[in-house]
Amino acid sequence: MHDSKKIEEAVLALFGAFAFDNGRVWKRFDFDVMQSQADQGLISDPRGRAESVHLTPEGLARSKALADRLFGA
């Protein structure tokens, strides 16, 4: 089994790596992980027809830091 906390951090890092328009990200990740991110106040509500969600200011900062740590050169 995978560590769900590590999976959530990886998804948040991917948000940071692929964010555009100052914190907009596509919502093509596991819904339970995305709902957990929303519950923590890191992204907007993933439910609905929109194909993207917005990172909150805290979510954007944390996702960029995680992307740099996990994927930086």
Chain segment 17-47, per-residue pLDDT in tens: 888 899 998 877 778 888 999 999 999 999 9
* Collapsed DSSP state (helix, strand, coil) of residue 33: helix
Q: Which residue segment(s) compose the domain that 42 sits in?
A: 4-71
Total structural domains within the chain: 1
What CATH number is given to the structural domain containing 30? Answer: 1.10.10
Distances (CA, A) of 39 to 1, 34, 69: 23, 9, 24
Q: Which residues are paired to 24 by β-bridges?
A: 20, 54
Give the pTM: 0.71
53: left (phi over 0), alpha (psi -120 to 50) or beta: beta
- Percent of residues, the chain, with pLDDT higher than 70: 96
Task: Give 70's contacts (C-beta < 8 A, 6+ positions apart).
Answer: 9, 10, 13
